[in-house]
A and B are shown apart, each in its own frame.
Chain A
């Protein structure tokens, strides 16, 4: 069996060409779904496969599809290609390398939920990818894989790309929908969730690029086949975006259940200069910092595994931190990022990130005073549990975990040798 399910271009370099993709079974799943399965049967297969969303929250994909309100039409599918989490670069590789498998996933999802229009919302910096996908979509249309009455059935589908304008918040699904509608990218109050009230107020499925790219193989090979990989909590494979102080950063497609030790040392080649590993951010800038010990390094990874350590796998953008890096520097980076990206809609996040930025800047410039550090921790905790969307919560993760788990990095200093 081949090594890759998603990053197949690494084995089949020309798979981004339609005929090559088709030679390797491309679009058989879509045709099979449309011509031999009912939409509900497709949803059932995906449900049974245990596929969970790869955008961060890990929500069961088939279950999400089954929530689509059948009393309200039309339905839409939106692929979330906003990929803005610092440390995440997997969707980009999929779309650049194996675009048709992703597009086929979009098409199958659309069929499963009865959508005749699908949109791919792409972060502004990926303009070249949008143009690239437009070409691929045009090829699909020319080949009769998109358009009216597909495969001689009554099912019709069109896919459109849409570029964002550089806001991290537009990766949040409701802000994304607002932006797609041409409005300011700010999250909506949820509930109602998109499967009830989505694009233009109509039922909408929003799925991550990687999530959707799994779908064709699941439909083709069946749920059982998929479940054979990974863990019971998280069947299948995951692309880990590995970065930070490792020798070989990059995307690694691996089954769930592997350990950080394998990922970092076996695949990532270990830590730069062979220094000791200090901390891991498993989900990009939004992570709770893990203080690394053997238990952490040897835990088989899936969505529940990291909860015991007070962290989350999220989108599996693993940032590795060694002993040359001071945690207050990390926190300053994340706070600055979230302060810059806070959409400003709700008070705790808008004001809190601004406040935290002033505090961390002062702490790093004027020395680590206990009072200031404590206030920073208080402010972060005061933000928690009060925001309109998860970004506000994300902004506090590194702060709270960093101060709590790495107290030695916040001991009172009189401005000397702040590393970083």
Chain B
């Protein structure tokens, strides 16, 4: 516990820990000192000079070390004679601060007047208008009139693209450097900087491609003016026209808390649509941030490919007919199975599981990564929080590129490392985390040697010691280079390591699966079995019920002759939907309520943001209606009631209900309208911070000795090993409707080491034909140093149907023709 210090601000006594910045201390006491450059998540820069206040410090007698008293017995105060910045001064005992004195007000007014001399004041056409700190603080602190000659105003470019997603208006920029510092300090990517000096200073991006960061959108939330806007939202709506709905991002397993801002839109036939996504504060999950996929990837919800009604044999039918048909198909099939994805809510998955059990058919989770069983037993438990990790703790990241697979985990792991946590990264190639985080140990292994990772960690004395001595240990595992079975063995080995090092079953400790979907963990918790290769099912089953997956689109299932009766439930017209006998039209998660269980085992609620599309229905309601046709009575109306059933049936969920999930806890920094200047436009959390599941009964069970099948392929002389990798921006059916992301997604490509490229006789930018097994695909060549020699990295869901590592041959596409 740090020492407490008591000071007086505007006559109010405030007691805060030693080292607290004055501006924070004031805010904790409810006093808003105006700021532009200060942001509670960034190092103070002291540059805008908006937070000028008068500070008096008790005079200390040099001999006694005691305060000198005046005739009234009060400590004598010493004022510097000039104003000081509240954002760079820390509190001290007995300090007396005036934030609203004549002198302080004069200083604050001066800063506003100075800032406005260069500001275009084009509020009427500015996206920030209505939620703009400069507007607000000008009203509160500025002079009513400027003495600056209008003709002397500087004129600068107003539509400068900083990459595909963010625009800069140089006139509006007040040069506070928040955007620069966000990227440099929090993300570890100094992609923005100032160019020139003095009044010619301007923000520029120094990366290639420009603004090369998946966190770029956050800069628009903390920019205190309308200088940074997103390509998505700019000129799209006025803030006061928007409604807000609390939700959870569905693009990865982190479960960032977000808000959907919606408005009725003429261009969308008068429907209420999503206009933008903002982060919603959850200091246990995503702080004030989200990644660009979460912010810009929502456009699929209004895609032309949305299913609006059920279909049978290719024709629209009534729900009654469709369900009848589906029920018959299932009833008459002797071999049948249900396959669902981690995109579905807990309520949906629970309902599906009940149906599967009733019909005695297996319930599969379609996943490229295995091992959720181990996460269920050894994952994080109630009360855990990655932001609690720091010095003395260790984080192990195995076979996962967190930056691309779960950006907010990258951010939080990097932060933990900044705070002093030991970071151990085991990966076959250099990832961004490795390049940009301090305090790390790296274990490099070859693709194919995944079975030895944990053993090798044990053998590296320094790493082993760090793991053993760590107060807390969190392990993230992914599946780069691995199939389902290998990643399952890896998870088991990781769990084993947690047990061996004495970290299993403790708060702030545990295993996290870097799943590609928001609720894969929910499926594991609810008893789904993993599956990835669906081809055998398609060859042996009489009927399949596929919910929220597109194996045909992924290119991993091919129809050869025998065709099971296919029931496909989805929100979009996919390649799989086109193969279906019965199509059940589900509504998007933004159109209903439900819960997701994140990779940290945190159950979080989301709320309806927009009305349902056409005649689509929530997944659980569809399944319940189907169940009714098959003699099973399931809850069809209320997600909340379903969740109650889950809590009754699964010990890990015990004691949870929708009301508890909606609870919030006090958070720092404060967010909301009055704090836009302080914290930015990240939204306050009023609708729930979620709850981590409790450790399950088996939590103390020792994992099976890991038995890693040695079937993974290794790079070999003279051949090329293709390895699928996960890239944040892929060409999956849910992301391609977001047109503004196309630049980030790019074309299908293969990434080679310069040497590999040279040996294959190809160069960067050339088009090649890749041949593996009995397949082939065209791709552009990219050449990057971090790829191991002899390996070709192929991003998943980019039009190259590579489901697992394979040996391949490369040819120049031209030469083939």
Contact = CB atoms under 8 A, between A and B. Distances in A.
Contacts of A378: 147
A104 to B, nearest CB: 35
Nearest to A343: B197
B154 A386 contact: no
B113 to A, nearest CB: 7
A341 B117 CA distance: 19
Contacts of B82: 385-386
Interface stretch (A93-101, A146-154, A344-352): A344-352
Nearest to A379: B147
Interface stretch (B39-47, B94-102, B712-720, B781-789): B39-47
Given A184-B194, A345-B47, A386-B111, 15 more contacts: A184-B193, A344-B197, A348-B49, A348-B110, A350-B114, A350-B199, A350-B201, A351-B117, A353-B198, A354-B198, A378-B147, A385-B82, A386-B83, A388-B46, A388-B47
B56 to A, nearest CB: 16
A37 interface: no
Interface string B98-132: 00000000010011011101100000000000000
A342 interface: yes
A340 interface: yes
A346 B115 CA distance: 10
Interface in B194-229: 194, 196-201
Considering residues A167, A347, A354, A388, which has the most beta carbons from chain B within 10 angstroms of its beta carbon?
Answer: A347
In this complex, the interface size class of chain B, counting residues with CB under 8 Å from chain A, is: 35 or more
Contact of B117 (A189, A355, A362, A385): A355
Given A345-B47, A347-B48, A355 B114 contact: yes
Interface residues of A, number: 30
A351 B114 contact: yes
A351 B199 contact: yes
Q: Which 3 A-B pairs give the minimum distances between C-beta atoms?
A: A385-B82, A344-B201, A351-B114
Contacts of B47: 345-347, 388
B197 A388 contact: no
Given A184-B193, A354-B199, A358-B149, A189 B114 contact: no
A387 interface: yes
Interface in A382-399: 382, 385-388
Nearest to A385: B82
Interface in A7-30: none
Nearest to A189: B46
19 contacts: A189-B85, A340-B198, A344-B197, A344-B199, A344-B201, A346-B46, A346-B48, A346-B49, A347-B47, A347-B174, A348-B111, A351-B118, A355-B148, A358-B152, A362-B149, A382-B110, A382-B113, A382-B114, A386-B52
A330 to B, nearest CB: 21
B88 interface: yes
Nearest to B106: A382
Given A350-B201, A355-B117, A355-B148, A189 B194 contact: no
Given A342-B199, A348-B110, A354 B147 contact: no
A284 to B, nearest CB: 19
Contacts of A385: 81-83, 107
Interface string B143-164: 0000111001010000000000
Contacts of B751: none
A339 B88 CA distance: 26
B49 A388 contact: yes
A375 interface: yes
B423 interface: no
A350 B110 contact: no
Given A189-B44, A344-B201, A354 B83 contact: no
Interface in A307-347: 339-347
A353 B174 CA distance: 15
Considering residues B45, B52, B114, B174, which has the most beta carbons from chain A within 10 angstroms of its beta carbon?
Answer: B114
A347 B49 contact: yes
Nearest to B114: A351
Given A385-B83, A386-B110, A347 B115 contact: yes
Contacts of A184: 193-194
B326 interface: no
Contact of B49 (A167, A169, A343, A386): A386
Nearest to B44: A189
Contacts of B117: 351, 354-355
A352 B200 CA distance: 13
A344 B49 contact: no
Interface of B: 44-50, 52, 81-83, 85, 88, 107, 110-111, 113-115, 117-118, 147-149, 152, 154, 174-175, 193-194, 196-201
A346 B49 CA distance: 7
Contacts of B149: 358, 362
Nearest to A372: B149
Contacts of A375: 147
B538 to A, nearest CB: 59
Nearest to B90: A191
B134 to A, nearest CB: 12
Contacts of A340: 198
Nearest to B52: A386
B209 to A, nearest CB: 23
A351 B200 CA distance: 10
Contact of B107 (A169, A350, A379, A386): A386
A355 B88 CA distance: 27
Contacts of A362: 149
Contact of A344 (B147, B152, B198): B198
A348 B110 CA distance: 8
Contacts of A379: 147
A353 B117 CA distance: 11
B552 to A, nearest CB: 53
Contacts of B148: 355
A273 to B, nearest CB: 37
Interface in A179-211: 184, 189
Contacts of A387: 49
B198 A347 contact: no
Nearest to A375: B147
Contacts of B196: 344
Contacts of A354: 117-118, 154, 198-199
A396 to B, nearest CB: 13
A343 B197 CA distance: 5
B48 A342 contact: no
B198 A339 contact: yes
A234 B695 CA distance: 73
Contacts of A382: 110, 113-114
Contacts of B52: 386
A382 B148 CA distance: 13
Contacts of A167: 197
A337 to B, nearest CB: 11
A352 B115 CA distance: 9
A387 B83 CA distance: 10
B83 A339 contact: no
A339 to B, nearest CB: 7
B72 to A, nearest CB: 29
A347 B111 contact: yes
Interface string A353-388: 111001000100000000000010011001001111
Nearest to A341: B198
A385 B105 CA distance: 14
A169 B147 CA distance: 28
A353 B196 CA distance: 16
A348 B47 CA distance: 9
Considering residues B47, B50, B85, B200, which has the most beta carbons from chain A within 10 angstroms of its beta carbon?
Answer: B47
A9 B475 CA distance: 68
Nearest to A167: B197
Contacts of B200: 344
B81 to A, nearest CB: 8
Contacts of B45: 189
B689 to A, nearest CB: 34
Nearest to A346: B47
A272 to B, nearest CB: 34
A350 B113 contact: no
